[in-house]
């Protein structure tokens, strides 16, 4: 990581933080918001490097001891808090407060980064609020959140807000071609799936994920034996729950592309450019309302799974009905049953 240089497409945000450092007007607290994979933590770490680095004030050299320790996450004057079992607990915030009560071990700055700030318990949030109300010296707290509306308004009001920008699809595609050696077609698909989030694009560009994308798209584009293939995919996902969110995202973009084509939108608006012919053929089989219903049912399945529905039953119902979008009207009853059955 080379400090702010690693933040492609976020030039306005970077310039704002650099000006704050150079002018000596660094805020006590920042709220960095954006979707998962948008670069929130990358920005926070780059900002920390810029604060600690003595070789390039207002930026970061990326090679000095301070920069390298920030990147490794073990700088003595920086503490990173992440959700523990899905929640940030009061003991974690107390450790942050204890660290901030001490003098900096090196230099003059102390930095705290709270990842997934919206997951704080009520007790943790109230404890953090007290810390924000009593700023001490050269100390910076950065709250990273995908859902800032879930934070206490009193916390939000004490932070300077920074919103991560979505990067144009073509910019991400060019980056993937250059840095990952992807073909133009594959890079365009991955960039479309990433939806403006460079971190997400990097994750999708990993070999195993590229294979998973191709397998799923082949199944969705196929015309023969779709019911059996759908059940096979459901069984595979049930055995690999870590790939579930990623797969359902691909499924949603496929259905969205079908909806766009069924509604008469131009080709350049779709994500799966390399599957245009298959998408066009499928979009002619169903009405826009049927495709929209399918998208809603995918969203229903996601909510059901988050609510501890029976994973295999929910996936069987969802994927099997993909073989015929006209059957989606019955899916919600299956999810209700699945939720009552447990996982």
Contact 319, 233 (CB under 8 A): yes
- Residues 127, 241 share a domain: no
Distance CA 195, CA 121 (A): 30
Residues 6 or more apart from 115 whose CB is under 8 A from it? 40, 41, 80, 81, 82, 83, 144
- Residues 63, 114 share a domain: yes
- Residues 137, 15 share a domain: yes
Global pTM reads 0.80
First to last CA, the chain: 40
- Residues 85, 64 share a domain: yes
Report how far Cα 135 is from the mean position of its chain's Cα atoms.
30
- Domain interval for residue 236: 206-341
- Residues 179, 93 share a domain: no
**Domain count for the chain:** 3
The long-range contacts involving 177-186, CB below 8 angstroms and separated by at least 24 positions, are 180/205, 185/273, 185/274, 186/210, 186/274
pLDDT at 27: 95
CA nearest 255: which of 231, 271, 241?
271
State which of 163, 197, 221 marks the end of a domain: 163
- Residues 210, 117 share a domain: no
- Residues 15, 81 share a domain: yes
Q: 29 - beta bridge partners?
A: 141
- Residues 325, 263 share a domain: yes
pLDDT at 335: 46
CA distance to 27, 48, 158, 183, 322, per residue, from 142 (Å)? 10, 10, 11, 37, 43
Distance CA 199, CA 202 (A): 5
Strand, helix or coil at 204?
helix
Distance CA 304, CA 54 (A): 51
CA nearest 4: which of 51, 56, 43, 52?
43
pLDDT at 60: 85
pLDDT at 330: 43
- Residues 199, 211 share a domain: no
- Residues 130, 89 share a domain: yes
* Tens-binned pLDDT, residue by residue, of the chain (343 aa): 567 887 888 999 999 999 999 999 999 999 999 999 999 999 999 999 999 998 887 888 888 899 999 999 999 999 999 999 889 999 999 999 999 988 888 878 999 999 999 999 999 999 999 999 987 778 999 999 999 999 999 999 999 999 999 999 999 999 999 999 999 989 999 999 999 999 999 999 988 888 888 888 887 776 654 556 666 777 777 788 778 888 888 889 999 999 999 999 999 899 998 899 999 998 998 889 889 988 988 888 888 887 788 888 888 888 777 766 655 444 444 445 444 445 4
Q: Quick one: DSSP state of residue 10?
A: -
- Residues 173, 300 share a domain: no
DSSP secondary structure string for all residues of 20-47: HHHHT---SEEEEE--TTSSHHHHHHHH
Report how far Cα 298 is from the mean position of its chain's Cα atoms.
19
State which of 178, 205, 232 marks the end of a domain: 205
Please provide residue 32's backbone torsions phi and psi, each rounded to the nearest 5 degrees: -100, 120
∠256-303-148 over CA atoms, to 5°?
90
- Residues 125, 33 share a domain: yes
């Amino acid at each position: 990581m080379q400090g702010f240089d690693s933040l492609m497409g976020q030039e306005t945000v970077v310039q704002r933080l650099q000006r704050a450092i150079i002018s000596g007007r660094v805020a006590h607290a920042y709220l960095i918001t954006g979707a998962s994979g948008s670069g929130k933590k990358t920005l926070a770490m780059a900002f920390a490097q810029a604060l600690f680095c003595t070789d390039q004030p207002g930026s970061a050299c990326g090679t000095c001891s301070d920069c390298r320790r920030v990147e490794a996450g073990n700088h003595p004057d920086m503490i990173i808090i992440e959700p523990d079992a899905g929640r940030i607990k009061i003991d974690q915030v107390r450790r942050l407060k204890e660290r901030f009560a001490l003098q900096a071990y090196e230099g003059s700055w102390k930095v705290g980064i709270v990842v997934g700030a919206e997951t704080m318990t009520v007790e943790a949030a109230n404890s953090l609020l007290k810390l924000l109300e009593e700023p001490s010296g050269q100390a910076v707290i950065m709250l990273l959140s995908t859902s800032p509306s879930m934070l206490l308004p009193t916390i939000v009001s004490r932070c300077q807000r920074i919103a991560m920008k979505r990067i144009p699809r073509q910019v991400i595609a060019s980056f993937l071609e250059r840095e990952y050696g992807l073909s133009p077609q594959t890079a365009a698909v991955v960039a479309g799936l990433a939806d403006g989030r460079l971190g997400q694009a990097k994750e999708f560009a990993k070999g195993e994920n590229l294979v998973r994308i191709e397998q799923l798209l082949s199944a969705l584009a196929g015309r023969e034996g779709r019911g059996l293939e759908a059940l096979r995919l459901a069984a595979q996902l049930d055995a690999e729950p870590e790939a579930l969110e990623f797969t359902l995202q691909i499924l949603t973009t496929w259905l969205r592309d079908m909806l766009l084509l069924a509604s008469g939108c131009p080709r350049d608006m779709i994500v799966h450019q390399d599957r245009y012919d298959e998408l066009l053929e499928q979009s002619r089989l169903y009405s826009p309302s049927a495709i929209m219903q399918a998208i809603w049912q995918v969203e229903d399945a996601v909510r059901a799974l988050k609510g501890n529905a029976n994973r295999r039953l929910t996936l069987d119902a969802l994927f099997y009905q993909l073989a015929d979008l006209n059957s989606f009207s019955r899916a919600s009853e299956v999810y209700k049953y699945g939720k009552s059955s447990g996982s």
